[in-house]
Structure 1
Amino acid sequence: MFGRLNIYFREMYPLLPRLGLAAIMFFEIYFVLLLNTGVRDFRIGFQEAIGVFTIFVFLMILRIADDFKDYETDQRLFPERALPSGRVHKKDLAMALATIVSISVLLNLFFMNNQGWFLFLYIYGTLMSFWFFKKDKIQNSLPLALVTHNPVMMILNIYTITFVCYKYQLPLLSLPTILLAFTMYFPSLIWEISRKIRAPKDETAYVTYSKLFGYQKVTRFVAVITLVDIVTNILLLWKISLLGVLVLIANVLWMMVQFGQYIKDPTRFNIKERVERYTYITELTMVVSVATYLLMRMLG
């Protein structure tokens, strides 16, 4: 079983990179929120480690749940993947999931300060994995699947936000918390849509947003979301790094050019790859700006 799980995690959920991603997601929200609310006395300890672990586990849950939900479809369209190919068994993933989820639940219930929000996150994730008991209706509607499933990423962000607010006695509802909930959610929404945009000649039996609505309309929609996203980033970074703000502006202008070129000629490049590059630069700018600010404070 462990050999098969190693195959799965290596191909579908690389553990160390995903743990690093979880840490970035957690501490980006953590420090951006504190710096925007005037908190300068940071107390990082065991709870923060649990927070990172919880995000890591939840992203794993989403990955495995998707493989379970799409098993029959993947057997037809992606038979080379670890689970549909038979190189990994459903029982292997179920046992691994049960073990790591149990650990995550116990850690949160005994040591964290936002148990209610944690339970809400896991309950929503569980309902989502069962298609909210409306599988036939949701599975056959790409927009409905997006509306019901993608918001879980915002709930994951709120999990971190509530932990920070409770720990440092900050208001749950404020401009920084609202902006953070959205600025950390929009990249997942943008990526989820853009990965299902294809040029007309590249469309297959796989259902995409471009097939349903036309690649031009969907690309324009993603462009609008991208602009809204960058506004939230700029507002949060304004007090931390003006240089970072300039990088964000340059990056989004570059991305708008890419959207325009793709609308004119979708055969030039894969828009998902350009969106991923834009997202990496945006998030890296946020992380580096915050890290630089904290480092300067330590040295000063």
Structure 2
Amino acid sequence: MTKTSSPNPRSVSGWAPRVGVFLRERYPLNPVMLALFLQSLVSLGFMTSLLAPPGPDQSWPWLPMIAQSLSVPMFYLLIRIADELKDEEVDRTLFPDRPLARGAVHRRDLVILAQVLEMLLLILNVVLIQSAATWILFSVSAFFIFLMFKWFFIERTLRASLPLALLTHNPSALIISLYLMSAHLETHTRDVLVFALGAWAFAAAWEIGRKIRRPADETTYVTYSKVWGPRLPALLVVLLLGIGIALQVSLFAKRTSFVASPWIAVGLVVLAFLFVTVQSLRFVLNLERRPSADPTLPVGLSMLLFLAWSWLWHAGVLSV
């Protein structure tokens, strides 16, 4: 997501232009924020259509659905800001072209942006959503992000261990998924937990997959391939993707006839998974090959199609 710095990166003046530089390079509206919003909305629609579909005379709860789906990319933007602030000194050495490291955006700019996001999140979740469960999980999500920013108050320990940092930080995906599905948590606890665990598996696969390098490309930057060797993390990505697919598709399978058209999308998910598996195995067998920059992307796109197709089919929009 990092881009090459401009010829005169310090020439930008004003809070909004500097924040614009940061967002374009580190968290672009398209595709990152848009993709997270669509993924969240489609996931919530998928679960609602399975667990509590509106009756013939009822309308879909669009306002809370959109509010929560907008909140998810905002939560992840807060996490991105926290990471940038936490890693400022490290980035000056390893990634000097990043906007904070090169001075294109100031530390205070990001603090103000985080405060603006917090106010917007409060408005979305307190004013537009009337659900105690959502408020509780919203608060838990926000508090967990705060703990991440503080390194859970054991910074030295976590900085010294990338796997331990993954173990402590990656549950944010699980918690935010529970927040997203909070409307169904009380009545369908097991199903919501299954979906959220699937989301956690996908997030863990993405986090590990983006920090795999072939031996010739390793630097002083700590990657999973440097800690565990290149083969284990590549295989872990495949395993975690398989777990995520199995968990989320199982929710659909137990409620849907095998002649339903969304099974076509399940087939596409399987094909995408096989493609990623083959690519990972080729890397494992030949470490001279350069691994994919984002090995989870094919599965992520096919899962988005599957969730959307299932939602529309169960909602009666697609009758085929």
TM-score normalised to structure 1 length: 0.90
Say whether the 8 Å CA contact 2:46–2:310 is kept in structure 1: yes
For the residue of structure 2 that corresponds to 1:272, the secondary structure is: coil
Q: Aligned partners of 2:275, 2:236: CA distance in 1, in Å?
A: 17
The one of 222, 228, 233 aligned to 1:218:
233
**Percentage of identical aligned residues:** 25
The one-letter amino acid of 2:187's match is P
Matched, 1:158 2:154: no
Q: Aligned partners of 1:299, 1:260: CA distance in 2, in Å?
A: 39
The structure whose residues are more often helix, as a share, is 1
The one of 102, 111, 117 aligned to 2:119:
102
The one-letter amino acid of 1:216's match is R
For the residue of structure 1 that corresponds to 2:102, the secondary structure is: coil
The one-letter amino acid of 1:131's match is W
Say whether the 8 Å CA contact 1:262–1:271 is kept in structure 2: no
Say whether the 8 Å CA contact 1:161–1:177 is kept in structure 2: yes
Give 1:171's aligned residue: 187
For the residue of structure 2 that corresponds to 1:198, the secondary structure is: coil
Q: Aligned-residue CA RMSD in angstroms? A: 2.2
The one-letter amino acid of 1:103's match is L
Matched, 1:188 2:206: no
Please list, as runs of the form range in 1=range in 2, the aligned pairs for 1:279-298 lying within 5 A after superposition: 279-290=299-310, 292-293=312-313, 296-297=316-317
Please list, as runs of the form range in 1=range in 2, the aligned pairs for 1:1-300 lying within 5 A after superposition: 1-37=15-51, 39-41=53-55, 42-112=59-129, 113=131, 114-162=134-182, 164-165=183-184, 171-174=187-190, 176-238=191-253, 239=256, 241-273=262-294, 275-290=295-310, 292-293=312-313, 296-297=316-317
Q: Aligned partners of 1:107, 1:271: CA distance in 2, in Å?
A: 37
Q: Deviations over 1:5-57 (max 9, x none)?
A: 11111111123544422322322221221232252445233322321231122
- 1:182–1:295 distance in 2 versus 1, CA, 3 Å: same
TM-score normalised to structure 2 length: 0.84
How big is the shift at 1:196?
1.2
How big is the shift at 1:134?
0.8
Say whether the 8 Å CA contact 1:223–1:259 is kept in structure 2: yes
- 1:277–1:237 distance in 2 versus 1, CA, 3 Å: same
Structure 1 gap segments, 5+ residues each: none
Q: Deviations over 1:178-234 (max 9, x none)?
A: 221122222211010011111111111111111111111222222222221221233
Structure 2 gap segments, 5+ residues each: 1-14
The one-letter amino acid of 2:280's match is F
For the residue of structure 1 that corresponds to 2:101, the secondary structure is: coil
Give 2:3's aligned residue: none
- 1:90–1:58 distance in 2 versus 1, CA, 3 Å: same
The alignment covers a number of residue pairs equal to: 294
Q: Deviations over 1:41-92 (max 9, x none)?
A: 4523332232123112211101111100110110001001111100100111
